[in-house]
Amino acid sequence: MIPLHFYFTYYRGNTDWAWTDVHTLCLKSCKRNSGATKITVFYDRDGEGYDWDEARALANIEWIPTTFTAFINGIPVKDQRLIHDVHRLQTLWERGGYYADLDFVFLKHFEGLSASDAVIGTQCKAKKKLNCSIMGCAPGSSFIKSYIDAYKLWTHKHEKEFWTYANTIPWALSQTMPVTVLAKRAFMPVSWSNKSFWEGKTTCLKFSYAVHLWESLHPDLRVADLLKTDLRPFIEDIINDIPRGLVHLQQGIIVNFD
């Protein structure tokens, strides 16, 4: 069983990666919609400004100061992306739960996925890529352990194709290892090139547990931009903390549709 413990990383390293309202929205949506029994954020340096302060003020979130290090074949890793990847996999293998990037909006309860030994979503079926930006597993998952072991083959020749390497490894492993591979719509229902979504056109999110926002391709993305999309009603409910599944008919009477 996959525990409903969600992990996130705010690893700034030698960058000036700023905490934004999108990251705070991610945590709020996870608290409200995913069914999380625990949320943990690993971070190496404090953020700055209102959005960071708002996130730190959220109740029932564990913040763990972390010195991020990783070793492959006994050699310390210098590439920041790879350090983060190894930390993600090691945490999942040791603790179990779900590990996600901070550019997701969570829409649906994850309980229906928890019976799996491990779960991961599709990024591109044609190119045989799975997406490691959100993954879940039971503690000691053999799929995740094999994913970690695959990095022992890492060499600097893979540096320029890091994301391809990171996403093709799980595809290859999924052919023989115990892992549930979800359709792209589960976590990545929207491509960054999907102009209709970003222009506010209707998008089918019925089968989506969460929506990936492609922050790496658009670091200036903010909640104000998301409010122009079909995510608006979800975001407004999250921001206003409107109860789900409850309709108040009149004072003292509640009808529950859950």
Residue 101 makes CB contacts below 8 A (sequence gap 6+) with 8, 9, 133, 134, 212, 215
Interatomic CA distance for residues 24 and 103, integer angstroms:
10
* AA letter at 210: A
Query: Which domains, and CATH codes, for the chain?
Result: 5-256 (3.90.550)
What is the full per-residue pLDDT of the chain (258 aa) written as tens digits? 999 999 999 999 989 999 999 999 999 999 999 999 999 999 999 999 999 999 999 999 999 999 998 877 777 877 788 888 889 999 999 999 999 999 999 999 999 998 999 999 999 898 899 998 999 999 999 999 999 888 777 655 555 555 566 788 899 999 999 999 999 999 999 887 778 888 888 989 999 999 999 998 888 999 999 999 999 999 999 988 765 544 433 334 343 333
DSSP string, 155-186: -GGGGGGHHHHHHHHHHHHHTTSS-EEEPGGG
Task: Note the maximum CA span of the chain.
Answer: 66
* AA letter at 54: E
Interatomic CA distance for residues 69 and 82, integer angstroms:
10
Q: Where are the alpha helices (DSSP H) in the chain?
A: 21-33, 50-56, 80-95, 142-150, 162-174, 195-198, 223-226, 232-240
Q: At what angle do helices 232-240 and 21-33 cross, to 10 degrees?
A: 80
